[in-house]
């Protein structure tokens, strides 16, 4: 039975308080001792097999896994489009385990396994876990063989039928993909026999509370969970040392507790910190709490946690932080990227948080489940307030497993100052009639552990708020789902006040005129329509009704895998690959008024047939537009109308583009400018721009082809994608990473060549006085060059990598090259296969007259300058991502 002892022993605090009367007493610096606790991340290779019929003998050390795939962890066998093919898998790895101290323990820490795990060491079952998104710890001491290789085998199941009682539940409609696998890191932990308990709900075993925080004084209570794995009763002495950012001890709590052999218990010590530096988005000040466990004065264990002192409450309808109201302006975020699916790397997570900080949000809802510890740490450091969620998004009842997952969420993330909301549900009311009792059950679990934070819930409709839920948020999608105007959001939002989701889809490869905006959910989601919706949203939130909206979380930060548009939820401010959409800059313009934001809208709308308009997002008072050196005038902030309503930070020029190539430059009068190159063609058939630049002719019957004289960019589309009929996107193909051979090249834009309606031969004829190197990037078809490439004298460069097909899948490409001389012509007849022609062209020098001296009257003669042989433009090449292990 666990008992809690409360001890007050704070001599240093007393000294600091007395210094106000008797003079300053210097705080002492803390010197971190060498910890007996040793923790290392497992970096060994794993052998992996996914199957729906698993061999139970795979846990045995002598099992033959030589035919399995070799992978590294974090890993998932699923992808955005493949989430159901396999429901089970085995992971096997040989690991060297060091010997622990006498009577010490060896633990294995799994940060995340989806969704169920059984862990075996040397053939012995040593533990398991149910729940995809919370950490768990297994004691490997009995089965471990220190000093030699040990066989670690983990059986993982992602079968929905086996997860009906989990969060999320395997029954009902999933709002996101639960990617199977050991998708977060695995660690080995060695401790002494007397230890701070790492098995307490997978937490650190140390919990820091501050019931009262003011600029003058912060109360402090530190709860430490202890385990005596020694064979004899032992007296534990705990020291909690609070260290400020300068490294000085500002509080020292000390107490003792005697534990019998094999016993567990907790010790709570209380004290105060005078004049704390408060944590806030403007000043995310972090303290460290060093918890030392000593036996007879000797250090046995050391756990280091960070904390921040802040107060917050829900008062008079407002969210109040450190005594003052603060408007929460944020985003929702999943833990998912295109390259890694759910097995997101540390580097990818940090890049996401850098982009969030750059965006300027002060709050993030980590939807819809507990995220990696690294994400909460990033929020602590960057001063971003966090909504943490337990995964309850589609189940009909509260379960024992759901309660345990909720406890794990709270205990594992307890000390993060960034967390202000614990969420116990998302859109549960629409799924069942017992949603209120289910929320109440999970809210009770939270409040039994943590009474300092607010318990919240997000619903898709107005409902009666459960008594133990502090704030009821609403998900509002006016202008997206249904036929109402985006401006219908304003009245609904002002009534709801706390908005957990709102947004609209937008594909960077699908475009439409600004004066003919429309969309079809899950089938036709132009980027311009997303801009249209968010322009109205931000005007409401930041200009028209800010006082009525204490909190707003935009859905969503990054596109993610979902059963929506080509298996993707496209409502992100950035693409699945991390490419920033124009709406990112519009949100940033409102979020960061003190930072100049200037963005010419439509970089990926590079060829426009149905519109000549230009739009700019900026937070300047005025913006001037220049096109091909011609001044098109200055627009004033607040003059733009969206459905007849004024929208700030949007500037618009009708009929601005000229026929052909337009170099567009926007200037904000504050020394900032932004420029892009846009092509405009008034001919719907696409014939007027058939010849331009170095080409005398470009022939593509049935599929207009246009030379786009601007550099290609990573992650961008390359096919023509102006939808004149407002029916469906023509192509969603796009680049991923570009090899150096084609970085900065121009390209020829066509309609999607894998579409039988547009596939046609392409004829290119170079003008006299020009030469060019042509590259054809095409979907990988095998090691043997295709017949069309050989017939057109294209040589294989050896470059291989990944790009996206029309289904938004990463597929392999190959790259071919040919040099084309002045006046030469080439025919590319690849058939119904996706490809793009990239161009590096240069104009040859013209002949110049030369005067030759002579003893007779000089006669002018002309000697032509012969150009040197064409040199290869780039010799080097490198291998890009040739394989994605799923």
Give the residue-averaged pLDDT of 326-343: 97
Distances (CA, A) of 524 to 563, 602, 723, 731, 732: 14, 18, 10, 11, 11
Task: Decide: helix, strand or coil at residue 498.
Answer: strand
Burial label, 439 (beta-carbon count in 10 A; 0-12, 13-18, 19+): buried
Q: In this structure, what token pair is assigned to residue 560? A: 């993610």
607 domain-assigned:
no
Alpha helices of 360-464 — where are they, by DSSP H? 373-382, 400-412, 435-449
**Same domain as 377, residue 308:** no
The mean per-residue pLDDT over the stretch 451-465 comes to 95
Residue 95 maps to a domain: yes
In terms of average pLDDT, the best of 167-171, 493-497, 690-694 is 493-497
Q: Would you state the pLDDT for residue 874?
A: 28
- For the stretch 645-682, pLDDT in tens is 999 999 999 999 999 999 999 999 999 999 999 999 98
pLDDT digits (tens, 9 = 90+) for 495-514: 999 999 999 999 999 999 99
Q: What is the mean pLDDT of residues 787-803?
A: 97
**Residue 765: pLDDT above 80?**
yes
Indicate whether 137 belongs to any domain: yes
- What is the spatial distance between Cα 737 and Cα 715, in angstroms, rounded to a whole number? 7
How much of the chain exceeds pLDDT 90, in percent? 83
704 & 797 share domain: yes
Strand pairing report for 69-71 and 206-209 = unpaired
- pLDDT, tens digit, 9 for 90 and up, residues 289-321: 999 999 999 999 999 999 999 999 999 999 999
Task: Tell me if 465 is assigned to some domain.
Answer: yes
Domain that holds residue 292: 203-312
pLDDT at position 647:
98
Quick one: 356 and 481 in the same domain? Answer: yes
Tell me whether residue 657 is in a domain. Answer: yes
Q: Which tops the pLDDT comparison, 850 or 816?
A: 816
| 408 shares its domain with 529 | yes
Q: How far apart are CA 343 and CA 744, in angstroms?
A: 32
Residues 397 and 543 in one domain: yes
- The β-bridge partners of 550 are none
Strands 660-667 and 673-680: antiparallel
Give the C-alpha separation, 428 to 406, whole Å: 16
Answer yes or no: do 288 and 209 share one domain. Answer: yes
222 within some domain: yes
CATH code at position 184: 2.60.120.260
Q: Give me the pLDDT at residue 221, please.
A: 98
**Is residue 435 over pLDDT 90?**
no
Indicate the range of 20-29, 533-542, 606-615, 876-885 predicted with least confidence: 876-885
- Spatial CB neighbours of 185, under 8 Å, sequence gap ≥ 6: 41, 42, 73, 74, 111
What is the pLDDT confidence band of residue 141, given thresholds at 50, 70 and 90?
very high
For residues 5-21, give the mean pLDDT. 32
Q: Are residues 428 and 347 in the same domain?
A: yes
> 575 with 631, same domain?
no
pLDDT at residue 10, rounded to an integer: 36
Q: How far apart are CA 464 and CA 437, in angstroms?
A: 12
Domain count, the chain: 5
Please provide residue 46's backbone torsions phi and psi, each rounded to the nearest 5 degrees: -120, 145
**pLDDT in the model for residue 725:** 63
Please report whether residue 603 resides in a domain. Answer: no
DSSP sequence for 119-131: EEETTEEEEEEE-
Residue 23 or 746, more confident: 746
Q: Can you tell me which residue has the tokens 């085998």?
A: 153
Instruction: Say if residues 78 and 180 touch (Cβ distance below 8 Å).
Output: yes
Place of tokens 């709406």: 583
CA angle 310, 225, 16 (to 5 degrees): 45
**The predicted structure's pLDDT at residue 687:** 67
3-state SS track over 96-111: ECCCCCCCCEEEEEEC
Same domain (yes/no): 341, 477: yes
Give DSSP secondary structure letters for 192-236.
-SEEE-TTSTTS-SEEEE-S-B-SSEEEEEEEEEEEE-SSS-EEE
Domain termination site, one of 134, 161, 191: 191
Residue 727 reports pLDDT greater than 80: no
583 and 626 co-located in one domain:
no
pTM for the whole structure: 0.92
Question: What CA–CA distance (Å, rounded) separates 416 from 420?
Answer: 9
Q: 271 or 878, which is more confident?
A: 271
**Sorting pLDDT into bands at 50, 70 and 90, what band is 284?**
very high
- Same domain membership, residue 494 and residue 373: yes
Identify the domain boundary among 629, 651, 680.
680
Residue 636: inside a domain, yes or no?
A: yes
Instruction: Tell me which of 163, 191, 219 is where a domain ends.
Output: 191
Percent of the chain with pLDDT over 70: 91
pLDDT score for 346: 97
Taking all residues of the chain, what is their mean pLDDT, rounded to a whole number? 91
Which residue matches tokens 């003893």? 855
Residue 619 CB contacts under 8 Å (≥ 6 apart), including other chains? 589, 590, 592, 593, 595, 596, 597, 637, 649
On whether both 436 and 569 belong to a single domain, the answer is yes
């Amino acid at each position: 039975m666990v008992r809690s002892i409360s001890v007050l022993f704070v001599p240093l605090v007393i000294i600091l308080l007395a210094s106000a009367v008797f003079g300053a007493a210097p705080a002492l610096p803390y010197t971190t001792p060498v910890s007996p606790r040793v923790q290392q991340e497992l970096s060994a290779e794993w052998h992996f097999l996914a199957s729906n019929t698993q061999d139970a003998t795979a846990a045995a050390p002598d099992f033959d896994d030589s035919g399995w795939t070799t992978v590294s962890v974090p890993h998932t066998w699923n992808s955005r489009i493949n989430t159901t093919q396999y429901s089970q898998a085995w992971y096997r790895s040989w690991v060297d385990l060091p010997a622990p101290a006498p009577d010490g323990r060896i633990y294995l820490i799994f940060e995340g396994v989806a969704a169920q795990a059984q862990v075996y060491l040397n053939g012995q079952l040593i533990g398991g876990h149910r729940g995809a998104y919370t950490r768990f710890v297994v004691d490997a001491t009995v089965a471990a063989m220190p000093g030699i290789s040990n066989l670690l085998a983990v059986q993982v199941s992602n079968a929905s039928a086996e997860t009906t009682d989990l969060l999320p539940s395997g029954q009902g409609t999933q709002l996101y993909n639960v990617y199977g696998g050991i998708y977060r890191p695995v660690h080995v932990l060695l401790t002494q026999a007397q230890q701070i308990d790492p098995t307490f709900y997978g937490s650190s075993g140390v919990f820091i509370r501050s019931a009262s925080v003011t600029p003058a004084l912060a109360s402090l209570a530190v709860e430490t969970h202890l385990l005596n794995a020694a064979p004899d009763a032992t007296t534990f002495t705990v020291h909690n040392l609070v260290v400020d950012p300068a490294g000085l001890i500002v509080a020292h709590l000390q107490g003792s507790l005697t534990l019998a052999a094999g016993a567990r218990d907790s010790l709570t010590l209380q004290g105060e910190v005078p004049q704390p530096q408060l944590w806030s988005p403007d000043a995310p000040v972090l303290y460290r709490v060093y918890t030392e466990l000593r036996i007879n004065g000797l250090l046995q264990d050391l756990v280091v946690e960070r904390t921040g002192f802040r107060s917050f409450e829900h008062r008079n309808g407002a969210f109040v932080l450190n005594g003052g109201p603060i408007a929460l302006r944020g985003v929702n975020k999943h833990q998912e990227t295109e390259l890694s699916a759910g097995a997101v790397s540390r580097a990818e997570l940090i890049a996401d948080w850098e982009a969030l900080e750059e965006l300027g949000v002060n709050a993030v809802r980590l939807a819809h489940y507990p995220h990696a510890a690294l994400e909460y740490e990033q929020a602590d450091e960057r001063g971003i307030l966090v909504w943490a969620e337990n995964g309850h998004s589609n189940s009909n009842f509260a379960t024992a497993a759901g309660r345990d997952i909720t406890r794990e969420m709270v205990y594992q993330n307890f000390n993060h100052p960034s967390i202000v909301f614990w969420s116990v549900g998302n859109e549960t009311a629409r799924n069942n009639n017992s949603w209120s009792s289910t929320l109440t059950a999970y809210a009770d679990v939270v409040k039994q552990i943590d009474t300092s934070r607010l318990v919240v819930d997000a619903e898709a409709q107005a409902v009666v708020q459960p008594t133990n839920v502090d704030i009821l948020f609403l998900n509002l999608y006016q202008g997206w789902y249904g036929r109402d105007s985006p401006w219908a959001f304003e009245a609904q939002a002002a009534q709801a006040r706390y908005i957990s989701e709102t947004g609209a889809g937008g594909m960077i490869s699908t475009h439409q005129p600004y004066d003919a905006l429309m969309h079809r959910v899950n089938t036709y989601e132009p980027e311009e329509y997303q801009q249209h919706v968010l322009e109205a949203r931000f005007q409401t939130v930041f200009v028209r009704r800010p006082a009525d909206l204490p909190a707003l979380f935009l859905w969503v930060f990054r596109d993610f895998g979902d059963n929506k548009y080509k298996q993707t939820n496209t409502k992100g401010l950035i693409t699945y690959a991390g490419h920033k959409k124009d709406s990112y800059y519009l949100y940033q313009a409102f979020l960061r008024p003190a930072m100049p934001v200037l963005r010419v809208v439509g970089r990926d709308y590079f060829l426009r047939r149905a519109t000549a308009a230009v739009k700019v997002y900026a937070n300047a008072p005025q913006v001037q537009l220049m096109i091909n050196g011609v001044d098109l005038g200055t627009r004033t902030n607040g003059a733009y109308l969206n459905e007849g309503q004024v929208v700030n930070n949007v500037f618009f020029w009708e009929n601005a583009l000229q026929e052909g190539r337009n170099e567009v430059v926007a200037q904000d009068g504050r020394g900032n400018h932004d420029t892009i190159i846009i092509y405009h063609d008034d001919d719907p058939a696409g014939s007027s721009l058939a010849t331009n630049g170095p080409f005398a002719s470009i022939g593509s019957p049935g599929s207009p082809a246009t030379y786009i004289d601007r550099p290609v960019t990573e992650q961008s589309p390359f096919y023509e994608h102006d939808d004149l009929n407002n029916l469906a996107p023509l192509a969603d193909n796009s680049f991923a990473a570009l090899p150096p051979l084609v970085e900065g090249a121009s390209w020829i834009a066509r309609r999607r060549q894998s579409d039988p309606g547009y596939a046609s031969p392409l004829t290119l004829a170079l003008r006299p006085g020009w030469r060019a190197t042509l590259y054809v990037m095409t979907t990988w078809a095998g090691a043997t060059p295709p017949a069309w490439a050989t017939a057109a004298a294209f040589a294989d460069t050896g470059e291989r990598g990944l790009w996206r097909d029309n289904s938004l899948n990463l597929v392999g490409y190959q790259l071919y090259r040919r040099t084309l001389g002045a006046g030469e012509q080439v025919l590319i007849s690849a058939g119904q296969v996706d490809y793009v022609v990239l161009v590096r062209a240069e104009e040859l020098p013209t002949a110049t007259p030369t005067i030759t001296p002579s003893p007779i009257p000089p006669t002018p003669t002309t000697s032509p300058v012969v150009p040197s042989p064409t040199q290869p433009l780039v010799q080097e090449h490198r291998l890009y991502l040739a394989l994605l292990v799923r």
